């Protein structure tokens, strides 16, 4: 049985996109991430140097699409922030994901961001257990949307910057549609919102 994480032995710190990307490519089923972020927070064992190679988990945050933000929060849509990736190295103790997520949320500027949103992919058989365990509000299922994946297992969404890529453009980039899938949607309203 896997040991439980001792919160006194771990710390969460801001990390660079390159450090976060390494963890995502190694430990997340999407095997890819965007080139931007609002926050990337990394999980480290205390007593070790806080170098890239010692980062063992990451929470990656950026704004959702306008439509997703409006559908999530009745307040100002520009105050919604999305958890786009959450990944933990397999050797990290049990409960590391909830520890990382809780510490990461505490590091978010609550004057600027009033609501958080995230999704659990049904095509990966995810149910959102981590979000339920950390008191996120379940918002139901999204409409099914296409999932594109490369032969190497990397995922790519259709939206790139201000443009939606066509299926043909994605195929030319080496991504194939593997199906249409719904997601479980969760939100977390921050204090004072």
- What pLDDT, in 10s, does the model give residues 103-124? 999 999 999 999 999 999 888 8
For residues 6-33, average pLDDT = 92
Q: What is the pTM of this model?
A: 0.86
For residues 64, 67, 69, 73, the Cα torsion angle rounded to the nearest 10 degrees is -170
Residue 155 pLDDT class (50, 70, 90 cuts): confident
Question: What confidence score (pLDDT) does residue 161 get?
Answer: 63
- Phi, psi (deg, nearest 5) at residue 171: -65, -40
Percent of the chain surpassing pLDDT 70: 95
Question: What confidence score (pLDDT) does residue 31 get?
Answer: 81
CB count in 10 Å sphere of residue 7: 12
Residue 88, strand partner residues: 57
The yes-or-no verdict on residue 192 having pLDDT over 70 is no
Contact 131, 159 (CB under 8 A): no
Question: What confidence score (pLDDT) does residue 133 get?
Answer: 92
Question: What confidence score (pLDDT) does residue 32 get?
Answer: 83
pLDDT in tens, 35-77: 899 999 999 999 877 667 799 999 999 999 898 999 999 878 9
Question: What confidence score (pLDDT) does residue 53 get?
Answer: 76
Among 5-9, 26-30, 68-72, 146-150, the least confident range? 146-150
Q: Is 77 left (phi over 0), alpha (psi -120 to 50) or beta?
A: alpha
pLDDT in tens, 126-136: 899 999 999 99
Q: What is the mean pLDDT of the chain?
A: 89
């Amino acid at each position: 049985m896997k040991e439980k994480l001792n919160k006194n032995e771990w710390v969460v710190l801001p990390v660079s996109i390159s450090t976060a990307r390494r963890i995502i490519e190694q430990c997340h089923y999407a095997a890819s991430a965007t080139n931007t972020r609002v926050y990337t927070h990394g999980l480290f064992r205390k007593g070790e140097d806080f170098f890239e190679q010692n980062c063992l988990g990451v929470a990656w945050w950026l704004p959702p699409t306008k439509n997703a933000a409006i559908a999530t929060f009745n307040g100002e849509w520009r105050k919604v922030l999305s958890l786009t990736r959450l990944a933990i190295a397999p050797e990290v103790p049990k409960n590391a994901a909830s520890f990382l997520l809780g510490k990461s949320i505490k590091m978010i500027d609550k004057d600027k961001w009033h609501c958080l949103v995230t999704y659990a992919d049904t095509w990966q058989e995810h149910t959102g257990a981590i979000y339920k365990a950390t008191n996120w509000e379940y918002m139901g299922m999204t409409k099914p949307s296409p999932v594109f994946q490369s032969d190497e297992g990397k995922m790519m969404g259709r939206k790139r910057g201000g443009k939606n890529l066509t299926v043909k453009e994605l195929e030319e980039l080496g991504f194939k549609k593997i199906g249409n899938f719904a997601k479980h949607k969760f939100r977390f309203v921050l204090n004072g919102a």
